[in-house]
Structure 1
Amino acid sequence: MTLVPPPTIADIARAAEVSTATVSHALNGTGRVGEGTRRRVREVAAALGYGARRGPRTRTLGLAVTTYAGNAWDFAGVAYFSRLITAATSAAHARGYALTTLPAERGAEALWHTLAVDGMLLLDSPTGDPVLRALRARGMPVVFDGRPADPRPGDVWVDNDHAATTREVLDHLAAAGARRIALHSDYGHDHYSNAVTAAYEQWCEEGEREPLVIPFDPHDTPGHAFDEALAGPPGARPDAVHCVFDPGGRQVLSAARRHGLRVPGDLLLVCASEDPAYAEGDPAAGAVPVSTVTLRPEVIGETAVAALVALIESGQPETPGQRTVPAGLEVRASSRPPVMY
């Protein structure tokens, strides 16, 4: 437990994104302040506990996934996020901090201006992230999972080397005999998908290969996005797919079954996923164990918490910039050429 100093007018001004003079007028009922601004300043002051008696409270870290903030999606049901959250919680507890996981749906914007935490972990923060804007206005210590869209001097983030990992996957597929490798990506504006797509296009250019990027849609369970590509003749259709997002592997398998293609006989497959079900396969459905890329979310979560606690307790990062966690390619039957007898 630690004694937290009471909030000042400057703290309220940062949280409400107004001047200290406006805060003073709003709280004292003086000056020419609009009623909406006056009400917002008072709400922020109350939420921060301005004027209240303050006592010890538990040191707390917050965690939010802001890629699609504003939409009520269950990110905790995604294997990557659930594994990272579990590891981050354990790492926070080991350092004497609680960890609070915030829902994806923002609700009232005042939440981010008044949230009572000592620092925040932001996962997949997008361009123009309003959550990040509110936290920066408060001077809140922040560490990112994934490179922020507009990093500032002193920012700290934890990420994989997506270019190196993408090349490893593509080289593996090419060594297994693939000549026409498609990338299942092109979704959202986060650094991860953009970095993988750029590395794929560079790899294709260097090998004088024609790139084929198939857009990912999380709701495309049957994999209809692949219909046009897989309907072509053997020399024109892709003979391998690298999926950037977790559901992509199942979408490819569904599309392959519909088009009468065997994995790996006609189509090699690698999918970035932390879901252990991919390793099991489904013999009854003719599905083999799928090769996966693990981004090592447990290591990312532990590394991010350590960096955030250091930032909170020292007031500045030990070393700004990226902490790199190596990803790993788990090769299984889906990306091995079939054995010929």
Structure 2
Amino acid sequence: MPGPGPTIADIARAAEVSTATVSHALGGTGRVGESTRRRVREVAAALGYSARRGPRTRTLGLAVTTYAGSAWNYVEIAYFSRLLTAATAAAHARGYALTVLPADRGAEPLWHTLAVDGMLLLDSPAGDPVLRALRARGLPVVFDGRPPDPRPGDVWVDNDHEATTREVLDHLAASGARRIALHSAYGREHYTQAVTSAHARWCAERGTAPMVVPFDPEDGAGHAFDAVFATPGGERPDAVYCVYDPGGRQVLAAAARHGLRIPRDLRLVCASEDPSYAAGEPAVSTVTLRPEVIGESAVDSLVALLESPQGAPPGQRTVPAALAVRTSSLAVRTSARRGSV
């Protein structure tokens, strides 16, 4: 049987620093100089240190912690499903197993004992108890989405949500929209906050008040839109950008109920990886956040932290999103508005 592996005390002796310095350097806490932090991590890697105080398991963990503690099945969401498939393939290709944790384990002591070498955290919110437990153990962590309070050594993979939001809003404006609502304001993760803030800035630059319709995953009929769709004249939105995957279907249901034709009366773009949007009538314009690329990049970064003396350089790896324009957001010809084909 293998021995227990090196401890923090072993690393401290080898690096000629205190055990407190080792804990801060590995956990990204405290005031540790960058050269000292790098030397401690190099010594730890050379000794084969794992924060679980044992031999490497060659296992990576993955958790979605946006709503940790709630029993929701994130695998049903196309974004997470596609990212998980890509991350699993990437981990296997590099000789690691990937353990995917259910969402309702956030409050359990599991995170203090989970036998993994490092973790991928998706949509980690402010005050994330899972992240707090992992940092206390000194486990390497790579984030999908910017962490709420990034530390100097943190690594994350994300899109440029400011640029993507502006691209969508500019596209809708160019197709004739003048009052663009955002279907958002549900999650506490960086993605929601970044898109909502970008929408507000875009509206302010044009002298219009931002309109945000609250998203509810249980609102399949889109009743959140009843009040704004019933508003007469120019106050009614003539376009909607949905931040979450189910939002597009909710808008379609609400528009049908209110007799709004898409795209003639209402233009629509939805951030989604669901291929059914392209096959519908009308075909819905979507934004892909490219979860396969994000998943593979996150695994690459985590493996680099585990295996390379230098590790992955800190900061963001940016994966460009892509807008697929379809019928739902196209400009309507003047002749079509008058009722002719």
If the length of structure 2 is used for normalisation, what is the TM-score? 0.82
Matches within 5 A, 1:138-217: 138-217=137-216
User: In 1, Cα distance between the equivalents of 2:52 and 2:135?
Assistant: 20
User: In 2, Cα distance between the equivalents of 1:8 and 1:321?
Assistant: 28
Say if 2:301 is the partner of 1:301.
no
Which residue in 1 is equivalent to 2:324?
330
CA shift digits 1:312-339 (9 cap, x unpaired): 1125533100000000000000001234
1:106, CA displacement in angstroms? 1.1
Secondary structure (helix, strand or coil) at the match of 2:157 reads strand
Which residue in 2 is equivalent to 1:125?
124
CA shift digits 1:243-286 (9 cap, x unpaired): 000011011001101101101110000000000010100xxxxx
1:117, CA displacement in angstroms? 0.6
Alpha-carbon spacing, 1:102–1:76, altered in 2? closer, same or farther (3 Å): same
User: In 2, Cα distance between the equivalents of 1:4 and 1:336?
Assistant: 65
**Structure 1 stretches of 5 or more lacking a match?**
12-18, 21-47, 282-286
User: In 1, Cα distance between the equivalents of 2:251 and 2:233?
Assistant: 17
CA shift digits 1:82-136 (9 cap, x unpaired): 0000000111111111111011111662210010011000000010000000000
1:176, CA displacement in angstroms? 0.3
User: In 2, Cα distance between the equivalents of 1:107 and 1:154?
Assistant: 24
CA shift digits 1:127-166 (9 cap, x unpaired): 0000000000000000000000111010000000000000
Secondary structure (helix, strand or coil) at the match of 1:121 reads strand
User: In 2, Cα distance between the equivalents of 1:313 and 1:49?
Assistant: 16
Give the conservation status (yes or no) of the 8 Å contact 2:69–2:107: no
User: In 2, Cα distance between the equivalents of 1:154 and 1:175?
Assistant: 41
1:207, CA displacement in angstroms? 1.1
1:115 is matched by which residue type in structure 2? L
User: In 2, Cα distance between the equivalents of 1:106 and 1:230?
Assistant: 39
Say if 2:237 is the partner of 1:243.
no
Alpha-carbon spacing, 1:323–1:334, altered in 2? closer, same or farther (3 Å): same
Give the conservation status (yes or no) of the 8 Å contact 2:184–2:213: yes
Give the conservation status (yes or no) of the 8 Å contact 1:239–1:266: yes
Q: How many residue pairs align between the two structures?
A: 297
1:233, CA displacement in angstroms? 1.5
User: In 1, Cα distance between the equivalents of 2:169 and 2:52?
Assistant: 54
Which residue in 2 is equivalent to 1:93?
92
User: In 1, Cα distance between the equivalents of 2:323 and 2:240?
Assistant: 14
Alpha-carbon spacing, 1:137–1:225, altered in 2? closer, same or farther (3 Å): same
Which residue in 1 is equivalent to 2:277?
278
Say if 2:255 is the partner of 1:256.
yes
Alpha-carbon spacing, 1:8–1:320, altered in 2? closer, same or farther (3 Å): closer
The CA RMSD over aligned residues, in Å, is 2.2
1:235, CA displacement in angstroms? 1.9
Give the conservation status (yes or no) of the 8 Å contact 2:52–2:113: no
Give the conservation status (yes or no) of the 8 Å contact 1:59–1:98: yes
Give the conservation status (yes or no) of the 8 Å contact 1:124–1:145: yes
Which residue in 1 is equivalent to 2:286?
292
**Structure 2 stretches of 5 or more lacking a match?**
11-18, 21-50
Give the conservation status (yes or no) of the 8 Å contact 1:3–1:57: no
Which residue in 2 is equivalent to 1:113?
112
1:303, CA displacement in angstroms? 0.4
